Structure 1
Amino acid sequence: MSEPPRPGIRPLYPAEEIAARVEAIAAKIAARSPEGLLAVIVLKGGFVFGADLARALAEKGVAMEIEFISLSSYGARLKTSGEVRVLRDIGCPVADRDVLIVDDVLDSGLTLRFARDLMAGRGARHVEVAVMIDKPEGRKTEIAADYVGFTCPDYFVVGYGMDAGHAHRELPYVGVVEDSKKGAKSGEG
């Protein structure tokens, strides 16, 4: 059941389309038969996508361990500082494991490139990135996600884990904050 739109938020990707994309991504990952999979969910925005993807993978017989990492390149700003900091690290070794980094948005790429390089530097056998939203217009570094839910224009999006001032993460759809084109960004950097 779809939730009615909230004032000031125009639905962009409805819950039903998101569920279909999560299933498709899970099928692609399962087809690869990852060994000793460690899913590293980037907080806070990646928690909804990460949970849905983990359940979809489990339904396809993929066993995994789940960890959480909190990274920041924004601080209190609306634009990335360019410097990524680990606010909360994972608590297990990654050496000789397949690692899947799961996040809400790939925008500047700085945070996800940092996370990917961090896991590779710790000896991961293979590191892949899954994102619900890819915003290639904002890219500031060379990185591409291995699995993408939707490629999105340069909008300020909320819902499905993404927020605006800590609000709207609970929405079951991804919506555009009206008058946001070319405005502030949401999610990762």
Structure 2
Amino acid sequence: MNQKIDYKKVIKVSENGLAGKKPDISLFSGIFSQRRNKIDQVIIPEVHLKKRIRALAEEICKDYKKTKEINLVTILKGAFIFASDLGREIYNIVGLKGPEIHFDFIKAVTYGDEIKHSEEPERNVTIELQPKNLQGKNVLLIEDIVDQGFTLFEIQKKLLAEEKLQSLRTCVLLSKTLKNPSKKVRELKNKLVIDYLGFEIPDRWIAGYGIDAGEDFRHLPFVLTVKEDYYLNKK
């Protein structure tokens, strides 16, 4: 039996995905037969992404109903598809009567080991690209996925410290439930302010819908888990 989903709430995704069992991968195109060495399974099909993003857009429209303009500050690279779809859904709901949407982009590089370790204490984050002229703006920060949280925390801190914003809210598509986070990571994730969250996902390597695994699979319209051994051995 398929899982009954309330799209107006944060959706918890199991190890087996939203279908509750391993889906028939033949339904999701020929890439699986060609790349079985890299791909495990689809955990969030396209239909669920669309419905949850629609619900997030409805919530955002309610919160910004008296706002004339929103700056969607998108964290590169992974959040660009999510931000685009979210912006279009906001327009689909309120049309030209709603807030004017402007897109800006921010990019951060996280230095440290490329492979995440469960007890990793921290990583250094450097901002490579950030928008200008955000003073007095209502900023909605868009992130694809929160793993350990270092990148999002530093970006939030930087925007609040250096920009005289009218407001700052954060919208995240996916948040990982980590199996063995270090004390530092637990404390950091507890400090993170996430105003809008799409899905909670298990502690697996994922790709699709703008998110990459070694630059693979960003273009896919769904979210899948990848075979971690393949990418570990590739390093």
Q: TM-score, normalised by structure 1?
A: 0.86
Instruction: Tell me which stretches of 4 or more aligned residues in structure 1 moved more than 6 Å.
Output: none
Counterpart secondary structure, 1:152:
strand
Could you give the per-residue CA deviations for residues 127-167 of structure 1, whole angstroms, max 9, x where no partner exists? 11111111142582121421111100111010001111111
Q: Does 1:99 align with 2:148?
A: no
Q: Give the structure 2 partner of residue 131 of structure 1.
A: 172
Q: Give the structure 1 partner of residue 3 of structure 2.
A: none
In the TM superposition, 1:76-115 aligns within 5 A as 77-79=114-116, 82-90=123-131, 92-115=132-155
In the TM superposition, 1:7-156 aligns within 5 A as 7=36, 8-33=39-64, 34-61=67-94, 62-74=99-111, 77-79=114-116, 82-90=123-131, 92-121=132-161, 122-137=163-178, 140=185, 141=188, 142-156=191-205
Deviates more, 1:105-114 or 1:55-64: 55-64
Counterpart secondary structure, 1:60:
helix
Structure 2: gaps of 5 or more residues: 1-26
Match of 2:74, as an amino acid?
A: I
Query: Which whole-Å CA distance do the structure 2 matches of 1:65 and 1:179 have between them?
Result: 37
The Cα shift of 1:178 comes to 3.3
The Cα shift of 1:74 comes to 4.2
Counterpart secondary structure, 2:134:
coil
Higher-Rg member (1/2):
2
Q: TM-score, normalised by structure 2?
A: 0.70
Structure 1: gaps of 5 or more residues: 185-189
Query: Which whole-Å CA distance do the structure 1 matches of 2:53 and 2:112 have between them?
Result: 29
Query: Which whole-Å CA distance do the structure 1 matches of 2:224 and 2:93 have between them?
Result: 29
CA RMSD of aligned residues (A): 2.2
Q: Give the structure 2 partner of residue 166 of structure 1.
A: 215
More helix by share: 2
